[in-house]
Amino acid sequence: MKSKLLTIAITLATILQGIGQVPQKISYQAVLRNSDGTVIASQPVNVKITLRKAAADGTVVYTETINQTTTAQGVVNLSVGGGDAVSFAAIPWDENIFIQTEVKKESDASFQDLGTTQILENLHQILF
């Protein structure tokens, strides 16, 4: 009986520890369009992701530039959090976090700001 209880306790502790880990990446998908609304299809782009705390113009807590080629439909699928400038785990997820997206095509001289939006919830916050 003690053996079964110990096995259940260890299993439960292992599961809870796994659930409590902060995710180290965010999946992010966007459709990129030119100013006239046409998709930026099958082109290499630099996507700059900036995470800010408290407000859309708040303090920068993480930034990363990802080089990728859009699909034929202009879609980019990103894994934000692979950069090494700041530990992704150091982001204050218990505060309001906003994500800013900027894009630079090869023909552009600088990044174009596509906007900033609040990250409303994530699995880590919902569970705890």
Q: How many domains does the structure of the chain reveal?
A: 1
List the beta bridge partners of residue 87.
none
Asked whether residue 16 is assigned to any structural domain, the reply reads no
Asked whether residue 114 is assigned to any structural domain, the reply reads yes
CA 16/CA 7 separation, integer angstroms = 14
Amino acid, single-letter form, for residue 105? K
CATH number of the domain encompassing residue 109 = 2.60.40
Which domain, by its residues, includes 55?
24-127
Asked whether residue 92 is assigned to any structural domain, the reply reads yes
Asked whether residue 17 is assigned to any structural domain, the reply reads no
pLDDT tens-digit series, residues 60-70: 999 999 999 99
Phi-psi category of residue 81: left, alpha or beta, with phi > 0 → left and psi -120 to 50 → alpha: left
DSSP 3-state percent helix, strand, coil across the chain (nearest 5):
20, 40, 40
pLDDT tens-digit series, residues 24-62: 788 889 999 888 999 999 999 999 999 999 999 999 999
Asked whether residue 98 is assigned to any structural domain, the reply reads yes
